[in-house]
Amino acid sequence: MGKSKKSKTRGGGDDVLDSSDADSIGSSSTAMSDLSISYATEHVNSHEFVLDKYIDDLYEKRGSTREAALVKLVDAFESFMLHGLVENKYATLLSQFNNSVKKGSTKEVFLASRAIGLLAITLGAGSSSHEIMEESHPQLCRILQAWSDASKMIPALDCLAVITFVGATDLAETELSLKAMWDVIHPKSGSNVGTVRKPKPPVLAAAISAWTFLLTTIGSWRINIDSWKEPIAFLSTLLEAEDRAVRMAAGEALALCFELNLLDVSSCEDGDDNTGGTGGSKNKLFLDMQALKAKISGLASNLSAEAGGKGADKKNLTDQKDLFQRILDFVKYGECPEESIKIAGKRDVLRVSSWSELIQLNFLKRFLGKGFLKHVKENGLLQDIFDINVDTTETLSSTDKKIFRSEEEKERALKLNKERRLAQARKNAAMLVE
């Protein structure tokens, strides 16, 4: 498993499911009421009954029925911690989700991709999530390689990032996903087509964001610095892209590259093992990287002070200026970005103080949507990622308090019954001796 960015609006393109679509998809009142009722009972079977009904609907031939079930499942994954309910059903869920990704409509692919990512986050790091990654990776990559419409590519990129982040166990698995994303960011000429396909701005911004999120997990592995020269150089050109979302995504990626010392040739050990060349080539690489640093710093300085023209989106412009000022402060003075979120009560606060943590935080906030705080409070995976320990009892809803008290009462009843049985057994034994 790998080991925090304010949600940015991706610009351009009418064929993309935007945030309002995602919000409407994740707000099924039926799912909420069904699960709230089931969670308020003491019988686990009622929980499973609701989940099984949704699973059954995924087998239906009618696409609209499958879509409706996926809407409810996505909403349930966001609204509740379903680990206990899905850990023995995840293989069935995964199979049907992947079928929807493979054969479904654009909306069904969008929903199923989110459901796969949410399933991995719910289960957390381990063999189950590794299986989710292995089973889903080929189909998600096929969507990216086919260059289908943006409404399929963007959720596929997000899902691929999440399942690799949670499920990958080594660098080789992570690199496979990084390469699939980079092929979208910087595509080469196809074997049958002489021209290079260019991704639309929303897809390009999504691919850079997913790639950067996954790149945060490689910090503990040694990498060949020389191999990063071309990607960093290309990302630096995107700081001059027309689309603001692309510029900002590229800026975050480059900030992370600085933090990981991917531009710092002097961070390599003595000798040529890490650069893969002679002393002369290492010296040239050093000069090239210094030139890239200077270029990136100059562009970041310009973007941090960009004046808004007539009709400019002031909110997005302010976000851009704030981001590139942070990048400039980090590159020039080593000042790390800091952010904090109150998650429960007065004392429980999630704090981040590095580009890696900030990128992870913002990607997961955007992916989990309304379910982010719920998962931070109750999901061990997110608590491990951000090193937090949450006491949730003081912020439980009235329904959750009933469930909590019910669970406590069941535990006490089981303990008392056990003590009674032991006492009766001792009494019977004593009567036999007499």
Per mean pLDDT, which range of 280-284, 334-338, 394-398 is the poorest?
394-398
pLDDT higher at 389 or 18: 389
Beta bridge partners of 172: none
**pLDDT of residue 430 exceeding 70:** no
- CA distances for 377 relative to 47, 193, 384, angstroms: 21, 50, 11
Query: Does the pTM of the predicted model rise above 0.85?
Result: no
pLDDT, residue 315, reads 82
pLDDT, residue 24, reads 46
**pLDDT of residue 223 exceeding 90:** no
Q: Report percent pLDDT > 70 for the chain.
A: 70
pLDDT higher at 284 or 203: 203
- 417 CB-contact burial (10 Å; exposed 0-12 / middle 13-18 / buried 19+): exposed
Mean pLDDT of 316-325: 94
29-55 tens-digit pLDDT = 444 445 544 444 444 456 677 889 999
Average pLDDT, whole number, for the chain? Answer: 81
SS3 389: coil
pLDDT, residue 344, reads 72
- CA distances for 337 relative to 214, 245, 323, 328, 352, angstroms: 19, 19, 9, 11, 8
Among the listed residues 246, 168, 149, 164, the one whose alpha carbon sits nearest the alpha carbon of residue 206: 246
151-190 tens-digit pLDDT = 999 999 999 999 999 999 999 999 999 999 999 999 985 4
**pLDDT of residue 281 exceeding 50:** yes
377-417 tens-digit pLDDT = 999 999 999 998 766 554 455 555 444 445 555 555 555 55
